Chain A
């Protein structure tokens, strides 16, 4: 390589953008030509100078704003999906909240807890893989949960109604562990939270509804419907955008299954 050839490749040489073969030839030339060595060295120092310039960073508020924009956009995208989809196919069942806690403080915290579960559902619905343990097999999910909370948990099979079991996860609310079951109908989610040993003194806020001989409480919040009930020491709750009929049907089956398991 002669000086003129090297000079034509000087920029790419210093930028490390030459192919291996040319790079080797260029390197050989530089090591034997003081002038070209000087040229390359000058270029390098120039690059270093530029690279050392103080770099602006984005203002922290911008970061926060972008995260909020992303959250809002995700909600809007979700909304667009519902609106565009046929009513039946988009029927969302959110069977939320089989609540489990050892010592739920009585009184005022109860409404907060029920609402918190709705928030949890919304939060999980935004996660791509909300289930910590993924399985469509009720037996497997029940075993996974039992190992974590030390009690038998009913995991109803709603597949005949087109509601597919997705999996489960452990969660907590009010510093108490709770178990969470996740179902899906089409693109719609249905979650179940479980909270055992809820103090008798805890009053649950909601409208009383009777279905197949059992009483349930219902509550609307953030466009979600919640159906919950006390079963012995445990509190169960279903939250959904489905209509109350579907939710109550799911609740009834869960209740039946739990009664059968308790008898066993």
Chain B
């Protein structure tokens, strides 16, 4: 005999809480997978996981960081299943490299940003694609989606200090890529 039970089924508020972040999730998935179909699948998987664990979500806490964390973990699991470990290996080399980059940041004396005027639409996405995965992620969260350091630290499950060093490095890399693109467009200014 079938019986209808009302009880611990996920509350309908999940959709209300989560749906407003759909575009963010989709963009994030797109930047991780570089493929629309895969991005949609990843968002759907994230959605389902979030729904199933919605009872563990504290309504007072940060929903978008929670959702992006789930999305990122789902993506990493998928990579592991597929035997690709590019994110991990890159994260391992992160600490050593970022120290070197911070040194060069201090040496930098006159940040000329004129080249920014010659950055065309599409350049940023192109430049982002040329960045290593970890760099792309922090830029995307901080600069494109406006996440705070704390939110990024939650998503990447790393200390805030690491977020800061990764972000600093990522921005330099991105700047370099954009300068290269600006040169392609004919900008002749001094670029370092």
A: residues with CB less than 8 A from B are 4, 7-8, 11-12, 15, 17, 35, 38-39, 41-43, 45-47, 49-51, 53-59, 62-63, 65-67, 69-70, 73-74, 77-78, 81-82, 85, 87, 90-92, 94, 121-122, 125-128, 130, 184, 187-189, 223-224, 240-243
Beta-carbon contact of B167 and A187 below 8 Å: no
B30: A residues at CB distance < 8 A = 56
* Interchain CB contact under 8 A, B27 and A92: no
The answer to the question of B7 belonging to the interface, with a C-beta cut-off of 8 Å to chain A, is: yes
A11, A125, A126: the one within 8 Å of B167 (CB):
A11
B98-129 residues at the A interface, CB under 8 angstroms: 105-106, 108-113, 116, 119, 121, 124-125
The answer to whether B183 has its CB under 8 Å from any CB of chain A is no
On whether A241 and B116 interact (CB within 8 A), knowing A7-B106, A11-B171, A17-B149, the answer reads no
Q: Check if B164 sits within 8 Å of A38, measured CB to CB.
A: no
- Per the bound structure, the CA–CA distance linking A69 and B44 in Å amounts to 8
User: In the assembly, what is the distance between CA of A59 and CA of B148, in Å?
Assistant: 27
27 contacts between A and B (CB under 8 A): A17-B164, A46-B175, A47-B143, A54-B121, A55-B144, A56-B23, A57-B23, A58-B43, A66-B19, A66-B22, A70-B14, A70-B47, A73-B10, A73-B51, A73-B52, A78-B9, A82-B4, A94-B4, A125-B6, A127-B12, A128-B12, A184-B6, A188-B3, A188-B5, A188-B6, A223-B4, A241-B1
The chain A residue sitting closest to B106, CB to CB, is A7
Greatest chain B CB density within 10 A among A82, A85, A87, A127 is at A82
Across the interface, do B40 and A125 meet the contact criterion of CB distance under 8 Å? no
Query: Looking at B119, B139, B143, B167, which has the most chain A CB atoms within 10 Å of its CB?
Result: B143
Interface status of B25 (Cβ within 8 A of chain A) = yes
Whole-angstrom distance between the alpha carbons of A11 and B172 in the complex? 11
Chain B residues engaging chain A, CB cutoff 8 angstroms: 1-15, 19, 22-23, 25-27, 30, 36, 40, 43-44, 47-48, 51-52, 105-106, 108-113, 116, 119, 121, 124-125, 139, 142-144, 146, 148-149, 164, 167-168, 171, 175
- A50-B139, A82-B4, A92-B4 are known contacts; what are 17 more A-B pairs with Cβ within 8 Å? A4-B106, A7-B105, A7-B108, A11-B168, A45-B113, A46-B116, A49-B116, A51-B144, A59-B26, A62-B22, A70-B14, A77-B9, A78-B7, A130-B6, A187-B7, A240-B4, A243-B1
B8 near A81 (CB under 8 angstroms)? yes
Task: Find out whether the CB atom of B8 lies under 8 angstroms from the CB atom of A77.
Answer: yes
Q: Is the CB of B12 within 8 A of A126?
A: yes
Given contacts A49-B119, A57-B26, contact A82 B125 (CB under 8 A): no
**In the assembly, what is the distance between CA of A242 and CA of B3, in Å?**
7
Most chain A CB within a 10 A radius of its CB, from B4, B25, B52, B168: B4
